[in-house]
Chain A
Amino acid sequence: SQTIHQWPATLVQPVGSPLSLECTVEGTSNPNLYWYRQAAGRGLQLLFYSVGIGQISSEVPQNLSASRPQDRQFILSSKKLLLSDSGFYLCACTDFGKGSPLHFGNGTRLTVT
């Protein structure tokens, strides 16, 4: 089964600083990869998903971007963080196949100060 590694677990960054969150997946190949954000006490917001290397779909216009340089690596970036970027960021993956569930990493708690 898949294992998703996310790091760091927590991050405090000042407004205007850059961001790079990394997610790697083990135990599968050619997965679909997702970045979600969860604001405090809120549900999940899909930010980006990818069905293959270099293929990124953006769901919400914002100052974040995503890249998939390798099959099992998914990176979330920002050039200049905003206060509103604070939240809990979750990487997820799913295998190809009908009904395959999403598997989530343990998340990164980002606080922009």
Chain B
Amino acid sequence: AQSVTQLGSHVSVSEGALVLLRCNYSSSVPPYLFWYVQYPNQGLQLLLKYTTGATLVKGINGFEAEFKKSETSFHLTKPSAHMSDAAEYFCAVTGGYTGNQFYFGTGTSLTVIP
């Protein structure tokens, strides 16, 4: 079975501060991990993904995430928050061949304070 836990449904940071959004997963198979961003009334946009290889993954808009197998974590970070980063962020996991389900966390709403 696979599941995702996102700690903190709401996170607030000041503009220019570090962004850290937490994601922990459980998976009985080697996981494929994803972070998505959703702006109001829009679909989800892929930020970055981990499949195999380098555990530090860089994505769009300056975000990156590190896969830590020992901690079953895939936290999303950005060194300096921008006002345009305010959005909902979702972590997701799938495993094995596509056709399996994607399991999403409940999301974290990021507020950036000017």
Contact = CB atoms under 8 A, between A and B. Distances in A.
Interface of A: 4, 6, 32, 34, 42-44, 46, 49, 51, 59, 88, 90, 92, 94-107, 109
Contact of B42 (A43, A95, A96, A106): A106
A98 B32 contact: yes
Nearest to A9: B41
Given A43-B90, A107-B43, A109-B41, A102 B107 contact: no
B46 interface: yes
A58 to B, nearest CB: 12
A43 B102 CA distance: 13
A94 B101 CA distance: 11
Contact of B99 (A32, A88, A102): A32
B43 to A, nearest CB: 4
Contact of B104 (A6, A43, A98, A100): A43
Closest 7 CB pairs of A and B: A99-B51, A104-B43, A43-B106, A99-B32, A104-B44, A44-B104, A106-B43
Contacts of B46: 101-103
Interface residues of B, number: 25
Contacts of B98: 32, 94-100
A100 B49 CA distance: 9
Nearest to B96: A98
Contacts of B107: 43
Given A96-B99, A97-B98, A102 B41 contact: no
Contacts of A88: 41
Nearest to B47: A101
A75 B98 CA distance: 21
Contacts of B52: 99
Contacts of A100: 98
B55 interface: no
A105 B104 contact: no
14 contacts: A32-B98, A32-B99, A34-B102, A43-B90, A44-B104, A90-B44, A92-B44, A94-B102, A96-B98, A98-B32, A99-B94, A102-B34, A104-B44, A106-B43
